Amino acid sequence: MNSKLVRIVGVAGIAALALTGCVDRGAGVESGGDEGGDSFTITLGHSVAATAPVNLGSLRFKELVEERSDGRITVEVFPAEQIGSEPELMEGLSLGNVQIALVATAVAADVCPELGIFALPYIIEGDTDRDQYESLRNLAASDWNQETIAACAEETGNLVVDNSWWYGNRNLTSNVAVNTPADLQGLIIRTPPADLHTLAIRAFGAEPLPMPFSEVYSALDTGVIDGQENPISTIYQNAFFEVQDNISLTKHMTQNQALVMNADFFNGMSAEDQELVRTAIDEAGQYQSDLQLTTNEEELEELRTEGMNVVEPDLAAFRAAVEQPVADFLANLGVDAATISELQR
């Protein structure tokens, strides 16, 4: 691996601690005696609609864990911000209200900045979404990523168990057709309340306005904001086609979802249960990602059917607009773009 990505001394020990759970058993795990191991509940929360692939993947995780533990481990899934927004879910990890926060990587990056590399504009490579998913899987499996999430667990108490669940490229909707960044000048575009979500929008010349997701439809309908940006599935599932005329396939951010656990809770599980949970998350993530890729293709056609004008712009100008802020972000972390590219292959 490129030496620029090797973490400081001690990472190997951190990784062993975070990934094998060789520490005292944490709170939240109740002994079930010698037979069958411990019994406990995992509460998983996310912000995505109950009908969306992200939630179906979460339910697949629940099914796998409960089946393979013979019901000893229970998983409760709460979609659509039922138990909090993504920042609130992250906070809930430390409070013990949530055991898994399933959040956009850009949100996790507010706690662990290096994870933000996954959410940089145009950083995930590939000619198609399916190619990009393979690149994402390779980057997530790299030594660099494993070292990064282990160090984050040590520093913050948040363990990213998996950050390779595919959600889709983020695209712009508005009531003006966006073919170039110049078309965005002066527009107010809603973004999620995470710093990385504003990077591309600001670079394109629009004014980003972070806003809770629950307020977006109304803000579009009343003209408080001129547009918003989200993956295709979110745009369709939340009927933004009712209040927006155009979708521009800018693909300015590849959104992958991160499953974040409280490190003490994870380390409090037996090694066997840790492996059970990790394997179930990986299998459920591949199931969800494949379903999401297909769903995105179908829902784009549904947006056309609903009357949205689908703009497919030349992305060269959009890529050029973010080139410097992306370079600055990577430089601040001591990482070079060429190595991140290499890790995706």
pLDDT above 50 for 4: no
Contacts of 82 (CB under 8 A, 6+ apart): 45
pLDDT above 90 for 55: yes
Q: Which residue ranges form the domains of the chain, and what is each CATH number?
A: 9-343 (3.40.190.170)
Backbone angles phi, psi at 190, to 5 degrees: -70, 140
Cα 25 from Cα 42, distance rounded (Å): 16
Of 25, 77, 85, nearest to 265 (Cα)? Answer: 25
Do the Cβ atoms of 97 and 145 come closer than 8 Å? no
pLDDT, one tens digit per residue, over 127-155 is: 999 999 999 999 999 999 999 999 999 99
pLDDT class of 194 with cuts at 50, 70, 90: confident
Of the listed ranges 13-27, 150-164, 166-180, the one predicted with least confidence: 13-27
pLDDT above 60 for 31: no
CA angle (53 as vertex; 217, 99 as ends), nearest 5? 90
How far, in Å, are 180, 197, 248 from residue 229 at the CA level? 15, 9, 9
pLDDT at 29: 59
- Which stretches within the chain are classed as H helix? 11-20, 53-68, 86-95, 105-108, 129-141, 143-156, 195-203, 216-222, 232-237, 263-267, 271-305, 316-333, 337-343
Tokens of 135: 């690149």
pLDDT class of 36 with cuts at 50, 70, 90: low
pLDDT, one tens digit per residue, over 297-318 is: 999 999 999 999 999 999 999 9
Backbone angles phi, psi at 41, to 5 degrees: -115, 135
pLDDT, one tens digit per residue, over 268-278 is: 999 999 999 99
pLDDT class of 246 with cuts at 50, 70, 90: very high
Instruction: State pTM to two decimals.
Output: 0.87
Of 78, 105, 107, nearest to 91 (Cα)? Answer: 107
pLDDT at 8: 28
pLDDT above 70 for 109: yes
Contacts of 63 (CB under 8 A, 6+ apart): none
Asked whether the CA dihedral 168, 172, 178, 181 is positive or negative, the reply is negative
Residue type, 44: L
DSSP-assigned beta bridge partners for residue 165: 257
